[in-house]
Amino acid sequence: MFNSETYVQRQQELLKKVNSGIILIPGNEESPMNYTDNPYRFRQDSTFLYYFGLSRPGLIALLDTGNGRVSIYGNDYTVEDFVWMGKQPTIHELAALCGVEYTGSITDLYNRIGQANKRKEAIHFLPQYRSENILKLMDMTGLSAQEIKAGVSVEFIRAVVSQRNYKTAEEIVEIEKGVDTSVDMHVTAIKMVKPGMQELDVVVEIEKIARATGGDISFPTIATINGQTLHNHYHGNIIKEGQLFLLDCGAEIPTGYAGDLSSTFPVGQTFSSLQKDIYTLVLKSHNACVDALKPGITFKEVHRAACLTIAGGLKSMGLMKGDTESAVEAGAHALFFPCGTGHMMGLDIHDMENLGEEFVGYEGEPKSTQFGLKSLRLGRALEPGFVLTIEPGIYFIPELTDQWRSQNKFTEYLNYDEIDKFRNFGGIRNEENYLITPDGKRLLGNKKKPMLIEEVEALRK
Ligand code: GLY
C-alpha cells in the first residue's frame, strides 16, 4: 500500500469531480472455485484498490459529495473467524491505513442507502463485472439487473478515468517492479525452451517467478507454438525443433500493478531465414510505433504506423499488393494483424477495461467497427503519465485466410497463393511497456527484455 495521504488525495479529487449524490465503490468478494470455502486467489477490484489500497473481501466504500465524508462499510471478523483465519484487523483499523475515518457495518450501509433513496439522492456506481456485486447493488438500491446495467454513472466513469489514466511517480515505481519481474519470466522462458518439452513445462516454471514476488501472474499466460491464435491459453502441445514459440505473460506485484510483455523466439538455436524476415518486419513496425510515441499524437496514428509498416513489408515480400495506404484504409492488412497495437496498463493489464474502452481509450468517442481496428483498445491522443503497451504482430491464421479467400475478399490487395505458403508459420509478436513523458516516452523497467534477433539468439545458445 502507499501512504494514507495518497489515498486521501485520490478520494478528495474524486469528490470534487462528481457533482452530487453518493458514490458507491464495492470491493470484491471471495470467488469460490467449487464450494464456498474453496476460493480462487482473492483479487480486489482495481478501482477500490486505487482509492483505498485495501485487499480484503467484503468491503464497500461510500463517498458522500454532500458533506465530503468518505466511509468504508463491511462486517468485522469474529473470534469464530479468527479460529480459522488467525486474528484479523478491524475494518476501522484497516480504514485508517487509507485515511478513512468513518466505518460501519453492512447493515449501516443499507440504512444509509435507504436514506439516500428516500431523499432521492443520486447514487453513482460503475459498470460491474462480478455477479455478486450486481446482486449487492440490486439489493441495496431496489433496481433490477437491467436497471443497474443501464444506470451506471458516466460522470463517475469519466472521473475515475481522468484520475487513473495519469500514473504518478509512485505508481510508476510499482509498475516497473511488475515489468522487471515480467522480464525475468521472459528471459527464463527464452533460455529454457527445448524441443520435446510441453508448453506447460514452460508455464509452470515462469509462473513461479510471478508468485515469488508475493503477487501472481497479471493475466492467463499465453505460451504457445501456435502464436497465430492471439489469446491461446492451451498449453498441451509438445514443442518441436524449427517452430516459433510465442510468450505473452506478465506479473502482478502485491500492490496490484502489472507488467505485460510478449516475446517470440525460435525453438532451435536460431531463427530460420523466413522467420527472420517476418520477425524483422514485426520489429520494424514495433520501432515505428515507439518512434511515434509522444504527447499529442493519437494512438490511432501510432497503430496506423504499425499497419502501414506491416502492409508495406508484406507487399515487398509478395504477400500483399496494390497501394499500401489504400490497403490499410480498407482493412486488408488485418488478415495478418487483426488486433490493436496496444492498450493502457496499470492496476489492470487492460487498464479499466471494465469501465468501457470508449471512455478509457477514446475519450467517450465510439470505436471503429472495422475488422482489426475494432480491436484497438486505445485510440485517443496521448498525454504525459499514460502507461501503455506496444505490441504489433504478424499472424498467419489459416481459418481466417480460407474464409477471406472463399469470399474473394480484398483480392486487389492480397496474394492468396503466396499467403498460403505461410499456413504453418504461426505468429510473431513482441511487446514492451512505455510511459508517455512530457517530451516523448520512456521504456518501462530497469531490466530490458531481449528483442533484437542477435540478443534473442544469444539466449538460445
Ligand atoms: N497481453 C495480453 C493482452 O493484451 O490481452
Percent of the chain with pLDDT over 90: 99
Nearest CA to ligand 1 atom 2: 248
Distance 260 CA to ligand 1 centre (A): 7
Average pLDDT of span 217-237: 96
- Residue 117 confidence (pLDDT): 93
**Is there an atom of ligand 1 within 6 Å of 353 CB?**
no
Q: Within 36-130, where are the H helices?
A: 46-52, 79-85, 91-97, 106-118
Atom of ligand 1 nearest to the CA of 431: 1
**Is there an atom of ligand 1 within 6 Å of 348 CB?**
no
Q: Which CATH class is domain 4-164?
A: alpha beta
**Is there an atom of ligand 1 within 6 Å of 174 CB?**
no
Distance 232 CA to ligand 1 centre (A): 11
- Residue 305 confidence (pLDDT): 98
Integer Cα distance of 243 and 424 in angstroms = 9
Integer Cα distance of 91 and 88 in angstroms = 9
Chain segment 15-74, per-residue pLDDT in tens: 999 999 999 999 999 999 999 999 999 999 999 999 999 999 999 999 999 999 999 999
Average pLDDT of span 176-185: 98
User: Domain limits of the chain?
Assistant: 4-164, 169-460
Distance 249 CA to ligand 1 centre (A): 8
- Residue 401 confidence (pLDDT): 98
Q: Do residues 249 and 221 lie in contact, with contact meaning Cβ atoms separated by under 8 Å? A: yes
Asked whether residue 166 carries a pLDDT value surpassing 90, the answer given is: yes
Distance 205 CA to ligand 1 centre (A): 20
- Residue 308 confidence (pLDDT): 98
Q: Model's pTM, two decimal places?
A: 0.96
**Is there an atom of ligand 1 within 6 Å of 248 CB?**
yes
Q: Which helix (H) or strand (E) segment is 123 a member of?
A: strand 123-124
Query: Mind giving me the DSSP string for 360-418?
Result: HTTTTPPPP-STTGGG-S--SBP-TT-EEEE--EEE--HHHHHHHHHTTTTTTTB-HHH
Distance 77 CA to ligand 1 centre (A): 37
**Is there an atom of ligand 1 within 6 Å of 357 CB?**
no
pLDDT category, 191, cuts 50, 70, 90?
A: very high
Atom of ligand 1 nearest to the CA of 389: 4
Phi/psi at 110 (5° precision): -60, -40
Asked whether residue 196 carries a pLDDT value surpassing 90, the answer given is: yes
DSSP tag of 332: G
Average pLDDT of span 89-106: 98
**Is there an atom of ligand 1 within 6 Å of 416 CB?**
no
Atom of ligand 1 nearest to the CA of 250: 1
- Residue 347 confidence (pLDDT): 98
Chain segment 396-409, per-residue pLDDT in tens: 999 999 999 999 99
Fold of 169-460: Creatine Amidinohydrolase (3.90.230)
pLDDT category, 364, cuts 50, 70, 90?
A: confident
Q: Which helix (H) or strand (E) segment is 441 a member of?
A: strand 440-443
Average pLDDT of span 75-99: 98
Atom of ligand 1 nearest to the CA of 260: 1
Chain segment 300-357, per-residue pLDDT in tens: 999 999 999 999 999 999 999 999 999 999 999 999 999 999 999 999 999 999 999 9
Integer Cα distance of 101 and 92 in angstroms = 7
- Residue 64 confidence (pLDDT): 98
pLDDT category, 193, cuts 50, 70, 90?
A: very high
Distance 106 CA to ligand 1 centre (A): 36
Integer Cα distance of 394 and 428 in angstroms = 5
**Is there an atom of ligand 1 within 6 Å of 176 CB?**
no
The 3-state DSSP composition of the chain as helix, strand, coil percent (nearest 5) reads 40, 15, 45
- Nearest in space to 185 (alpha carbons), one of 117, 259, 245: 259
Average pLDDT of span 293-301: 98
